[in-house]
Amino acid sequence: MNIKTPSKAEEMVMLAIWRLKEKAYGVPIRRQILKDTGLDYTYGTLYGLLRQMASKGFIQKRMGAPLPRKGGRRRTYFELTPAGKESLKESIRLHRRLWGDLGEYSFDKP
């Protein structure tokens, strides 16, 4: 089976979506990434990544109910697809293979 591994940026966004569960839309995703990584993505960057990940089949979107105010817009929520979950698992396996024989502080040793 040929599983696509996500880029580092895609991985961070998918992990934010996974952590947020049913509350995963633009603002909380951006906040979660900032909390997890210290990276403050612009909305343009974030939505570009979300479009890219949807085209790869890693995520899917669904429209929420309109916000309860006059002219309230509908939020676009995101969730991982089975392929997205599998790609995250493959990313974990790849990291373990790459880093498996190195201790956490092996770079500090001569």
pLDDT tens profile 70-108: 777 888 999 999 999 999 999 988 888 888 777 666 666
At 79 the pLDDT is 97
Q: Which helix (H) or strand (E) holds 77?
A: strand 74-80
At 97 the pLDDT is 86
Instruction: Say if 19 falls within a structural domain.
Output: yes
Residue 17 burial (10 A CB sphere; 0-12, 13-18, 19+): buried
pLDDT tens profile 10-35: 999 999 999 999 999 999 999 999 99
Q: Which domain, by its residues, includes 53?
A: 8-99
Report the number of distinct structural domains present in the chain. Answer: 1
Instruction: Say if 104 falls within a structural domain.
Output: no
Q: What is the CATH number of the domain that holds 51?
A: 1.10.10.10
Supply the pTM of this predicted model.
Answer: 0.84
Instruction: Say if 55 falls within a structural domain.
Output: yes
Instruction: Say if 108 falls within a structural domain.
Output: no
At 3 the pLDDT is 73
Instruction: Say if 106 falls within a structural domain.
Output: no
Instruction: Say if 105 falls within a structural domain.
Output: no
End-to-end CA distance of the chain: 40
At 103 the pLDDT is 67
